Amino acid sequence: MTILEIAEALKAEVLVKGEGLDRPIKNVVSSDLMSDVLVVDDDDILLLTSLASDQVLRTAQIVGALGVVVVNGKPLPSSMVNVANDLHMTLMTCKLAKYQANIAVYEALKQNG
């Protein structure tokens, strides 16, 4: 599944379309602790988080994530959109709580094999 297909499954609003939109998501990391994200070795991951800060995007860029989903319908600081544009990182928000978002992504990935 590509990141935009997952966005659809989450009914997420895509704020920035970055690079790698055609690449399949290989793993999903769900965390509010960036230290945890930094120990993930998988490629082409999607990061689900309820933390709305620029550092989320910088962390995602460092580990080579394809995009970031901020859950809980949190309003994002405008700087996040700017940073996402600078880093060519896909950024979206969804209204689901993190737990529900995790389930929705899991179900979507399962259905798509």
Partner 1 sequence: MSEQPQAAPGDKPANSFSTTSHGMSPDDSEPLVLLELIQRMKVRDVMTTDLTKVPRSATMHEIQELMRKNKISGVPVEENGRFFGLVSIDDIIRALSGGYINDSCSEHMTTKLVVLEDDMPLSFALRYFERYHYGRFPVINRDQRLVGIICQRDINRTLLRELSREFNRLESKAKGVDADTASGIYVYREFPICKYDFERAGKASNQIKKLLQERNIAPKIIRRIAVAAYELEINLCVHSDGGVLTWEIVNGKSEIIARDAGPGIEDVEWACRDGTSTANEWIRSLGFGAGMGLANVKRVSDSFEIYSRKGSGTTVKSQINIAEAQQKQV
d(CA 79, CA 60): 16
The DSSP string of 30-73 is: E-S-HHHHTT---SSEEEEES--SHHHHHHHHHTT-SEEEE-TT
CB of 88 to partner 1, least distance (A): 10
CB of 63 to partner 1, least distance (A): 7
Of 43 and 107, nearer to partner 1 (C-beta) is: 43
Interface residues with partner 1 (CB under 8 A) are 32-36, 38-39, 41, 43, 49, 51, 53-56, 58-59, 61-64, 77, 79, 87
Q: Quick one: CA torsion of 20, 21, 27, 28, rounded to 10 degrees? A: 120
Of 63 and 81, nearer to partner 1 (C-beta) is: 63
Of 35 and 111, nearer to partner 1 (C-beta) is: 35
Of 51 and 108, nearer to partner 1 (C-beta) is: 51
Q: Which long-range contacts (CB under 8 A, 24 or more apart) does 21-25 make?
A: 21/90, 23/66, 25/1, 25/66, 25/109
CB of 95 to partner 1, least distance (A): 21
CB of 98 to partner 1, least distance (A): 14
